[in-house]
Structure 1
Amino acid sequence: MSALQILYEDGEALVIDKPGGLPIERPRKGGPSLEDHLEALKLGFQRPPVPVHRIDTDTSGCLLLARNPKTLRRFAMAFEERAVEKRYLGILDGEPAKDEGTIALSLSKISSAEKGWRMIPAKKGKPSVTHWRVVARQAGRALLEFRPETGRTHQIRVHAASGLGVPLLGDPVYGMGPKTTGAAPRTMLHAAALVVPRPGKTPVEATAPLPADFAALGFADG
């Protein structure tokens, strides 16, 4: 089990660079998860750190961990109040017509026996807003920067597929599934940066380098 890269560290917080494919919680069928690493991430502290938020198993990049219950509550509140700045990078399985814009699509969760659960745009769903811009275009695909205002489950994935009309490359739920997955090892989404404000203290700031599987598809950050 290789050690996870630490992007930020102080007495209250850790930000790690979560690898794509590593689930935060242990899957029902078993297998590796972030839980395997929490003991090693104590780094001299009494308690193992606790994830403050969730990013999808396939998504790589910045994940904030709190080192004690008090800071866990404070950081969780910052996410709830939309005070956290989040920057994602994603590779689309195609190119958008414009170079930038804002997607506002409310989202609801549905489930069925044959397809399991997924998020869909729905007028009565929870309001969801994502700002986006094209960083680069390459070989019929595009690297986009996403700045979500809200933090709904699968928000960027659904906003790309339904708001832009172009899903993320490799997305098995909202994209073409196995047809495109051969071109990508996973859903190509990366949590590139995180800024978490702290009253009376310097904010928690972290940037996760672009992963190798993004570079392998010919893209660089900026």
Structure 2
Amino acid sequence: MSEPVRQFTVALDDDGIRVDRWCKRHLADTSFTTVAKWARTGQIRLDGARVGPGDRIAAGQVLRLPPEEAPRDDPKPKRERPPLSEDEMAFAREMVIHQDTGAFVLNKPPGLATQGGTKTTQHVDGLLDALQFEAEGRPKLVHRLDKDTSGALLVARSVRAAAFFSKAFSSRSAKKVYWALVVGAPSIEDGTVDLPLNKQPGTGGEKMHVDEEGGMPSRSRYRVIERAGNRAAWVELQPFTGRTHQLRVHMAAIGHPIVGDGKYGGPAAFLTGGISRKMHLHARRIRVDHPDGGEIDVTAEIPTHFRESLALLGFEEPLGDMMPLDTKPEPTREDRKAAGRAHAKQVRKARRGERRGRGTRE
């Protein structure tokens, strides 16, 4: 008789996390490769629908997994993480720019991956043992930055904080502002890019592209801080959605690829005159509510190559923080409709109250 499938109701502490993160948290012996295989073959279901490892789950939903596999006669020993060297411990702690009881904010350098993968052995996740300190559990990633993107990266210090922050990112209440150098200068000083994005076929999901028909809604805002004629511009960016490589694809799509981003800008993404060929995209600021009340609002210093490029182009760094982007996106058509319905509901409610008031007797 075959074993029954397993069903789990998503708890409040797991609200907003990804499927693969849930499996890592609750099925410690199940590898990401196994979870990906289950998803690929349709064996993972969320409220009856197929989901992928990166899809997010909500409290109260039912996650269905295949039956537990019988233990093998010769199970492979669980691979332990090698202890960190003193240099690795020091490197991890040097990245910390904010620390409290619930979180760290790191200033991730360019070239360091957030998580491991094929042929990626050095990454932020692998350094988090250095930041455990007196806490019971290991710190946990709640969002990520591309390998070549630098800047503010939030890390939770407990399961409770991780669930809270994950929900903030999935609901877009967490706010992130980036700085970038782009090729050319946008003719519109302050604009919104609203272009749906999807995985580009044939790239194995490693590259995104604009897909007007089947893409996911994606919105970003930019503001030009300074421009160097028509050669380059220093811009502030704010994503209102969280698609993979969103800012990079959006800026390339409007004809102004991020300097150093050959993946989306091709050869045109590189400037001459001593400008570094590294990516010039930096998570400048992060603002998010704290699970214990109040908020975290942290600014991350730009890396050396970015600072040198600003100087070579004649840009003055203090100008970047003088006029920050708004923290709220421009209302969409759906937002305006919802606001109109809410207002109409309040009006109807007030009128019913007036009618009841006229019908009462003293």
CA distance in 2: counterparts of 1:49 and 1:200, whole angstroms: 17
Bigger relative contact order (CA 8 A; separation at least 6): 1
2:169 is aligned with 1:79 = yes
Is 1:166 the counterpart of 2:251? The answer is: no
- The question of 1:133 aligning with 2:253 is answered no
Cα distance between partner residues in 1 of 2:106 and 2:120: 22
Shift of 1:148: 1.0
Spell out, residue by residue over 1:134-166, the C-alpha distance to the aligned partner (whole angstroms, 9 max, x if none): 11113621110001111111000011000x211
Q: 1:184 offset after TM fit, Å?
A: 2.6
Equivalent of residue 120 in structure 1, options 196, 209, 234: 209
Change (3 A) 1:110 1:213: same
Distance verdict in 2 for CA 1:49–1:210, change over 3 Å:
same
Contact 2:102 / 2:290 at 8 angstroms: preserved in 1?
A: no
Instruction: Identify the match of residue 128 of structure 2 among 26, 29, 38.
Output: 38
Distance in 2 of aligned mates of 1:169 and 1:108: 23
1:143 equivalent in structure 2: 234
Q: Is the Cα contact below 8 Å between 1:99 and 1:134 reproduced in 2?
A: yes
Match of 1:190 among 273, 277, 282: 282
Q: Which moved more, 1:123-132 or 1:197-206?
A: 197-206
Query: TM-score, normalized by length of structure 1?
Result: 0.91
CA contact under 8 A between 2:223 and 2:237: conserved in structure 1? yes
1:7 positional shift: 1.9
1:71 offset after TM fit, Å?
1.3
Question: What is the CA distance between 1:214 and its match in structure 2?
Answer: 1.1
Following the alignment from structure 2 to structure 1, what is the Cα–Cα distance between the partners of residues 118 and 258? 26
Query: Unmatched 5+ residue regions in structure 1?
Result: none
CA distance in structure 2 between the partners assigned to 1:170 and 1:41 by the alignment: 31
- Give matches, 1:2-81, under 5 Å: 2-3=91-92, 4-81=94-171
Answer yes or no: is 1:201 the counterpart of 2:293: yes
Aligned-residue sequence identity (percent) comes to 34
Extract unaligned runs of 5+ from structure 2. Answer: 1-87, 320-362
Cα distance change of structure 1 residues 44 and 200 upon mapping to structure 2, 3 Å threshold: closer
Aligned alpha-carbon RMSD (Å): 2.1
2-side partners of 1:137 and 1:94: how far apart? 8
- Tell me, what secondary structure is at the counterpart of 2:200? strand
Deviation at 1:181, TM superposition (A): 7.4
Which structure's CA Rg is the greater one? 2
Distance 1:8 1:187, change over 3 A: same
The Cα of 1:178 is off from its aligned counterpart by: 8.5
Structure that is richer in strand per residue: 1
Residues 1:215 and 2:279 aligned together: no
The alpha carbon displacement at 1:209 in A equals 1.1
- The structure with the largest helix share of the pair is 2
CA deviation after TM superposition for structure 1 residue 111, in Å: 3.4
Distance change >3 Å, CA 110–CA 6, structure 1 → 2: same
Offset, 1:55:
0.9
- Which sits farther off after the overlay, 78-87 or 176-185? 176-185
TM-score under structure 2 length normalisation: 0.57
Paired residues of 2:261 and 2:269 also in contact (CA < 8 A) = no
Query: What is the rounded CA distance, in whole Å, between the counterparts of 2:117 and 2:110 in structure 1?
Result: 15
The count of residues paired between Structure 1 and Structure 2 equals: 220
Mapped contact 1:210–1:221 kept (Cα < 8 A): no
Question: 1:185 offset after TM fit, Å?
Answer: 3.6
